[in-house]
Structure 1
Amino acid sequence: MSVTTAGKAISASVASRAGEMTDLLVELVRAPTVSGDEPAAEPVFASWFAERGWQLDRQILAGTAMAESARGAAEPRLAARANLTGWYGRPCGRPVLSVNAHYDVVPVIDEEDWTDPPFAGTARGGAVFGRGAVDNKGGCVAALFALQALADAGVELPFDVAVEFVAAEETTGVGTVASLEQPWPRLAAIVMEPTQNAVVTANSGAVFFTVGIDGRAVHTSVPWRGEDALRKLVAVYEALHRFGDERAASCSHPLMTHLPSPVPLVVGKFQGGGWRAALPAHATMSGRVGVLPGEPVSAVKEAVEGILAEVADGDEWLRANPPKLTWDNDGLSGWEMPLEHPLVEAMSAGRGSVGLPARFEGLTTGCDAGTLRRAGVPVVVFGPGDLARAHSPNEYVLETEVTEAAVILANALVAAGERFVAGDWS
């Protein structure tokens, strides 16, 4: 069945099920799945697949090779956490086109700034509010109802389709690492993240860091007799931001020219001291620095290490007590896909099915697509909602964004099937 033939039936299915989609999204938001504690949503997914007689598999993270790695060791409760793989019907041993959608969410640290309780899953004014609404449960719902629309339209595909609901994306990304241990071959992957339903074909990566400085505490009436760890950390902070500004000016990518920087450097956490009348003896900060597609993560790490060494060299105390740098992840490589790849063309056809022109963009957030691309899997990032609403108070996604994403995705899968049958896939 072609996109032209299936398009009307797909659109009709999604339109008729818009209320169901909102209800499911509300239910998922009300199942708190802060990274490290994802199991609350498992019954919701299990019920949805059971109602349709479709297969849902559970991959316990503790039983994987990933669990034996350093990254796996950093994650808690692996025996209670799982990736869930839901199939369009049941797998038939064919190549698999994977829709990857993380279902963990970030913690709530600013509940007083929310209008509604973060996990209330409030549907109001054509939007659903709550932690994870846009990142990434709106994407989860769009993926599920894309499959439902294909079933309602009677579409049979020449490959298997799996929706992989992965854990731990918001922390170490080990969910997708573990998913790659599954025995079936991946034809390609569509990673659901909020892109305003644009097709992301280039993604800068990121490496996360923590810098700690030890000083010497004294009473604040005689600060000259101690060493102010916080003040010294500020010097490192300023040097890193100068480095970030230099990279913003010198690094470029054709799909990210609309952005102030394709490789943002941000410090998201800054802590120091323990008492107002004591000079801070310890101070730490944590952040991220972007990595261009094609740029080695190791080169970015070396540059950051050089900056810290330069700051330490200019301070007598730090020469003897250098800043402690920890890399908090292995680093997500940047990646890009050629626009003529059949997966990219299929996603463009999906957008065309709802009257939208081709829209390719670059993305500056690290996500699981980098892990998949490094493993040789063709990949794009796509999904409903604006990334700027994620990780913030009153997070929300518009219901129309989710329904549009479902229609685009369903038609893109049909278009991918056409290209697969035609032998265009490589």
Structure 2
Amino acid sequence: MTVSVDSSAVLAHLDPDQIAADLAALVGLAPVDGTVGEVAASHWCADRLTELGAEVDHWELDLPTLRQETEFPGIEVERTEAWGTVGIVPGESGGVPALALSGHLDVVPPGDSALWADDPFTVRERDGRWHGRGVCDMLGGVAAVLGAVHALRTSGIRLARPLAVHTVIGEEDGGLGAYATLRRGHTADACVIAEPTAGHVVTDNAGSLTFRLVVRGRAAHGSMRTSGISALDGLDVAREVLRELEAQRNTGVGERFAHLLLPFPISIGTVHAGDWASTVPDVCVAEGRFGVRPGEPVAAAQATLRAALDEAGRGDLWLRDHPIEVSFPGGTFAPGRLPDDHPLLDVVQDAAAGAGAPRPRATGAPYGSDLRLYAAAGVPTVQYGPGDIANAHAVNEYVEIDEVVRCARAYVLTALRLCG
């Protein structure tokens, strides 16, 4: 990208210290999904965007109504209160924003705080990195977006078309915030989500489903094990089915996903069985994650898992009459992608190179994100942001400081290119 005089002047107003302060403030709120910190982060962003001269829409989400809608993406934590926050940087021509910069405010719990070098919710700078829960996923990206808006405002430049900033909640457990934001009518001609992308531009997301398996057995005293049927034996059957199904579903993955060892994984995350050490367990409940292939409808993915387990059950004397119960609680992440040959990819790649990063290549990501919600709403969307997903949700989570600043520069250049 050739940097014009105007864009150079705007970039000169980028303030790393302000980015650091915004990041520290957000992390310090401990905005874990479903907590008061998540609510506080929404209020904080409304205030911050107002300070930056944006026209702010800040509203309380009608959770009971949203939950009843057929397209509701699901949630996995309890919420009694949630807020949406959108800031619009005005443009001279008005109308639909030419670009939305989107980022989620919610973070996952830190786990055992004793394993962290410092308080997880206090940002620490060490070795050119910011450390703290959420700095990578994805408060560093949110701070970079705010840094870009700060630079645009303090430079005094007037955009030709509006720029939107969507700060959303609930991404980690389904996408409630982005869903509600789009449902309220906040849209744009294009969207960049500031998720961590390890220097690449993510154009395609696989989807994912949370599944629950209930396996029945027959209880017996542990000393008479052979007179009972352990529910764990049925789980063994299910696990073998999942391994075979995973292998089948990870063939012919396509160019954007070829760099991944396992683009569409199937995994079991929790298992609960039995209530007494010397009793053969008569029920086992297992929950896990089912990867959804690009272009695969969610209903088809669900049917595939059910069919595979039904088929396995027909070959087992016990499971034939006591089939494994399959359900899909929690978040539903459909796959999503940028349309082929859409110019947004080139714009973001040029902006990243103009900001001083190597020109990023286009890739697919194995996880679900808000990209699929924007894409489903007709908003062409990519992900480009600081950090690497390998550091997300980790103990001593970190993001490279220089990468956050480069991404803020790239957001400025993208906004100037699309908003005029």
TM-score by length of 2: 0.90
Query: Is the 1:239–1:307 Cα contact (8 Å) retained in structure 2?
Result: yes
For 1:212 and 1:114, the matched residues in 2 are separated by: 36
* 1:54 lines up with 2:35 in the alignment: no
Q: Which residue of 2 aligns with 1:113?
A: 115
Q: CA deviation at 1:82?
A: 0.6
1:164 is displaced (CA, Å) by: 1.0
Which deviates the most, 286-295 or 343-352?
Answer: 286-295
The question of 1:149 aligning with 2:147 is answered: no
Amino acid across the alignment from 1:415 = R
CA separation of 1:75/1:301 partners in 2, compared to 1, >3 Å: closer, same or farther? closer
**1:26 counterpart = 2:27:** no
1:93 positional shift: 4.3
Which of 363, 366, 369 is the equivalent residue of 2:365?
A: 363
Written as runs of structure 1 = structure 2, the 5 A alignment for 1:292-371 is: 292-328=293-329, 331-338=332-339, 340-355=341-356, 356-371=358-373
Q: CA deviation at 1:152?
A: 3.1
Whole-Å separation in 1 of the counterparts to 2:410 and 2:238: 46
How many residue pairs match? The answer is: 414
Instruction: Classify 1:386/1:330 alpha carbon distance in 2 versus 1 (closer, same or farther; 3 Å).
Output: closer
* Aligned counterpart for 1:189 among listed residues 186, 191, 194: 191
- Contact kept? 1:93, 1:184, Cα under 8 Å: no
For 1:172, the aligned partner's letter is G
**Local SS of the residue matching 1:260:** coil
1:90 to partner: Cα distance = 8.2
Aligned pairs for 1:166-181 (under 5 A) are 166-181=168-183
Give, in angstroms, the shift of residue 353 of structure 1: 0.8
The question of whether the paired residues in 2 share the 8 Å contact of 1:60 and 1:78 is answered with no
Q: Could you say if the C-alpha distance between residues 157 and 264 of structure 1 is closer, same or farther in structure 2, counting changes exceeding 3 Å?
A: farther
Contact persistence 2:264–2:292 (CA under 8 A): yes
Provide the rounded CA distance (Å) in 1 between the counterparts of 2:76 and 2:272: 23
CA distance in 1, matches of 2:266, 2:92: 42
**Structure 1 stretch 225-234 or stretch 111-120: which is displaced more?**
111-120
Distance 1:58 1:390, change over 3 A: same
Report if the CA contact (8 A) 2:76-2:331 is conserved. Answer: no
Q: Is 2:374 the partner of 1:372?
A: yes
CA distance in 2, matches of 1:247, 1:255: 16
Q: Which AA in structure 2 matches 1:206?
A: S
Q: Which amino acid aligns with 1:364?
A: P
Letter in 2 for 1:58: H
8 A Cα contact 1:197 1:405, kept in partner? no
Structure 1 339/352 Cα, relative in aligned 2: closer, same or farther at 3 Å?
farther
Deviates more, 1:47-56 or 1:301-310: 47-56
1:224 and 2:229 matched: no
Q: Given that residues 219 and 280 in structure 2 are in contact (C-alpha distance below 8 angstroms), is that contact kept between their aligned partners in structure 1?
A: yes
Residues 33, 172 of structure 2: 8 Å contact kept: yes
Shift of residue 298, structure 1, vs aligned partner = 2.7
Residues 32 and 109, structure 2, Cα contact 8 Å, conserved in 1: yes
Deviation, 1:387, is 0.4
Aligned equivalent of 1:162: 164
* Structure 1, 138-147 or 115-124: larger mean CA deviation: 115-124
Contact 1:251–1:263, Cα closer than 8 Å, also in 2: no
Comparing 356-365 with 269-278, greater Cα deviation is found at 269-278
Once the two structures are TM-superposed, the CA of residue 73 in structure 1 deviates from its matched residue by 8.1
Which of residues 399, 402, 409 is equivalent to 2:401?
A: 399
Partner amino acid, structure 2, of 1:60 = E
DSSP-derived class of the 1:288 partner:
strand
Q: CA RMSD in A?
A: 2.5
Question: Would the aligned equivalents of 1:194 and 1:385 in 2 still touch at CA under 8 Å?
Answer: yes
1:119 Cα offset (Å):
2.0
Whole-Å separation in 2 of the counterparts to 1:91 and 1:8: 21
Partner of 1:83: 84
Corresponding letter in the other structure for 2:33 = S
Please tell me whether the aligned partners of residues 73 and 179 of structure 2 are also in contact (alpha carbons under 8 angstroms). Answer: no
Contact persistence 1:60–1:79 (CA under 8 A): no
**Structure 2 unaligned runs (5+)?**
none
Residues 346, 415 of structure 1: 8 Å contact kept: yes
Task: Output the amino acid matched with 2:285.
Answer: T
Task: Give the CA deviation at 1:358.
Answer: 4.1
Q: Which moved more, 1:335-344 or 1:194-203?
A: 335-344
Maintained 8 Å contact 2:77/2:173:
no
1:239 positional shift: 1.4
- Name the residue aligned to 2:66: 66
Give the distance between the partners of 1:389 and 1:123, measured in 2 at CA: 16
Q: 2: distance between equivalents of 1:103 and 1:47?
A: 14
Shift of 1:89: 5.2
- AA aligned to 1:178 is A
How far does residue 294 in structure 1 lie from its aligned partner after superposition?
A: 1.9
CA shift in 2, pair 1:254/1:92, >3 Å = same
SS in 2 for 1:66: helix
TM-score, normalised on structure 1?
0.89
Cα drift, residue 240 of structure 1: 0.4
Instruction: Give 5+ residue unaligned stretches, structure 1.
Output: 419-426
From 130, 133, 137, the equivalent of 1:131 is 133
The answer (yes or no) to whether the contact 1:348–1:412 under 8 Å persists in 2 is no
The 1:340/1:5 distance shift into structure 2, 3 A limit, reads farther
* Segment drifting more, 365-374 vs 254-263: 254-263
**Partner residue of 1:385?**
387
Give distance in 1, aligned partners of 2:83 and 2:92. 19
For 1:72 and 1:198, the matched residues in 2 are separated by 27
Aligned equivalents of 1:403 and 1:148: distance in 2? 13
